[in-house]
Every structure is written in structure tokens, then in C-alpha cells.
Amino acid sequence: MIAGPVINGETRLYGILGDPVHSSLSPAMQNAAFAALEINAVYLPFPVHPEKLAQAVVGLAAGGVAGFNLTVPHKIAIQPLLDEITPEARAVGAVNTVRRDDSRLAGANTDGEGFLQALAEELDWAPQGKRVLLLGAGGAARGIAFSLLGAGLHTLIIANRTAARAEALAADCASHFPRCRVETLPMEGLAHSAPHLLVNATSAGMGDGESPVELARLKIGEAVADIVYSPLETPLLAQAARLGLPACNGLGMLLHQGRLAFEYWTGRTAPLEVMRQALMAGLSARG
């Protein structure tokens, strides 16, 4: 029998609130990290219906929760329920990590920074002076857009199925980063966008979904990043492999946003390799 963590009166509670949340890999990753550093804490999935979010947060806080993550669909709705939000997360308009300090709930967003760290680690790619085509304008795309621009990107081109959301994100980006070029393009008009990097931040390609674009029609200068990680090789990444383009999936972003959340909660350096192995084990257990 495998021994679980010892739960006692000192155990700190963490978790992830989502709907659905049953297939989240975060519990495996965060519990492995707590165990590796011998931190007396446990991280649980909490399935929370959107209408019950406020009730769930008040209840968890009253029960002494030490921190939690938010996933779809709570990253935007959580904001008015918090006592403070980092300026970065406030600008992005989404929170994925909450820490309880005394009785105050503080929110941050580690998605965008996690994405940048995955790009650096897996593709040795940095945004300074570069041109990116970003597909999507949802919560994840917003975090990625702000992090890329904050890290010195020259030009950001946003394309989204619903054009109005791309326009709204572009307007927000332009007002926060007036020195950067921010453009929008229709999904069917990407042939001349000529980016160094293409980022898929849409849900297209999840499960047995299709690629959001036909890569051979675009002139990608350097690399492709897909933030979807299930399947590990999305249809977009399969196209990138056929074209010989360097590429990465969303597993690295998941790992690094989790690492940053762990460090925000504990103030300790996260055991990155332990977390990476727990993610891989969680994925292969899914089959």
C-alpha cells in the first residue's frame, strides 16, 4: 500500500476550483511538490458551479484555506471576491492563483509568465523585438498577450473566431503598452502575417478537435507554441512537425504556472523536476 500524506491539525489546505475539474493534473503536480519538500499541506480539486463560486470562496476562506487555483470558468468571476489583486492580473483581467494572507485573499495570474518560461525552456525563445501571431482572445490568450508585450515583444497580431473579442483584447493591450504594435486580423486573412512565432491559445485542437489554422499557408519564421496539452501532439503540432518547425505543447506552461503558484503560496523554490514527473505520470495514467 502507498502511504498518503499525514493529515493532522497543522495541515494546510490548497486546491483548485473549476467546472469541470475532475481531469485537472494540478492536484498530482502540487501534492508531489508538497511531499518532496515535506510541507504539511494537501491540494484538492473542488468542482464549483459558476453560481456557487462566491459561496465556495467564503466557505473555503472561513475554513482556513491557505490558497487555491482557479480554472475555467472562474478566472474572471473570482476578481470581485478578492481583497487585492496584483497590478499584472488586474490588467489581464483574470486571476488563476489566490493566496490567503491572514484573513485577506490576494489574487495573481501566473499563466502568462508560465507560458514565457516554457518558451524559454523548451524553444530557447524570447520575445524581445519579435513578431507574434496569437490565436485566441479568451482568458489564457489575455495573460499570454500581456506577458509577451511586457517582455519586449515588437508586434502582436491577434486573430480570434469572434473578431470583436480580438478587437477588445487589442485595445486593452494597446492602452497598456502604447510603444508596442498591436494589430488584429481575421482568421481567414493570416497568410501574410509572417510572424516569428505562432501561438495557439484557443481551445481548438483539444480532444479530437481540429487545428485552428492550416500551417502550410502561413510563413512562420521560427516556431509554433500550442497551449493545449491534451493530446500532447495536437493537429497543429503535427503540422508543425511535418513542416520541420520547432514547436512545444501546453504541458510546459501548465508546469511553470503551477511552479509559480507554488512559490507564491509557500515562498519556497518549487521542486520543478518532481512536478514535471508528476504531470507526466498523471497524463500517462489517463491513457
Q: What is the distance between the terminal CA atoms of the chain, rounded to a whole angstrom?
A: 22
- When asked if residue 154 is in the footprint of ligand NAP (CB under 6 A), the reply is no
How does 73-103 read in b/e, with b if 16+ C-beta sit within 10 Å?
Answer: ebbebbbebbeebbebbebbbbbbbbbbeee
Q: Which residue is nearest to ligand NAP (CB)?
A: 138
Contact (CB, 8 A) for 225 and 119: yes
- Among 79-87, 159-167, 234-242, 263-271, the segment contacting ligand NAP (CB under 6 A): 159-167
Interface residue with ligand NAP, options 110, 184, 202, 234 (CB under 6 A): 202
H or E element that contains 239:
helix 235-242
Query: Can you say whether the dihedral through the CA atoms of 118, 120, 125, 128 is positive or negative?
Result: positive
Amino acid at 160: N
Q: Is 79 near ligand NAP (CB under 6 A)?
A: no
Cell of 89: 492580473
- Pattern of binders to ligand NAP over 242-271, x per CB under 6 A? --------x--xx--x--------------
Going from the C-alpha of 53 to that of each of 79, 148, 156, 265, the distances in angstroms are 11, 30, 34, 21
Is residue 136 part of the contact set for ligand NAP (CB under 6 A)? yes
Residue of 33, 57, 78, 137 that binds ligand NAP (CB under 6 A): 137
**Residue 165 interacting with ligand NAP (CB under 6 A):** yes
Q: Which residues in the 2-41 window bind ligand NAP by CB under 6 A?
A: none
Q: Going residue by residue from 47 to 66, which x/- string records binding to ligand NAP, judged by CB under 6 A? A: --------------------
Choose between 27 and 250: whose C-beta lies nearer to ligand NAP: 250
Segment contacting ligand NAP by CB under 6 A, of 49-57, 173-181, 197-205, 274-282: 197-205
Q: With binding defined as CB under 6 A, does residue 140 bind ligand NAP?
A: yes
Q: Pick from 52, 161, 176, 181 the residue near ligand NAP by CB under 6 A.
A: 161
Active site residue 75: yes
**Chosen residue from 14, 56, 57, 111 binding ligand NAP by CB under 6 A:** 111
Select 18 or 127, whichever has its Cβ closest to ligand NAP.
18
- The amino acid present at 136, given as its one-letter code, is G
Of 105, 141, 182, 279, which one interacts with ligand NAP (CB under 6 A)?
Answer: 141
Rounded to 10 degrees, what is the CA torsion of 273, 278, 279, 281? Answer: 120
Span near ligand NAP by CB under 6 A; candidates 27-35, 57-65, 136-144, 191-199: 136-144
Helix, strand, coil % in the chain, rounded to nearest 5: 40, 20, 40
Cα–Cα distance, 155 to 127 (Å, whole number)? 10
Q: Strand, helix or coil at 198?
A: strand
**Alpha-carbon Rg for the chain in angstroms:** 19
| Enzyme catalytic residues | 75
| Residues binding ligand NAP (CB under 6 A) | 72, 111, 136-141, 160-162, 165, 201-204, 206, 212, 227-229, 250, 253-254, 257
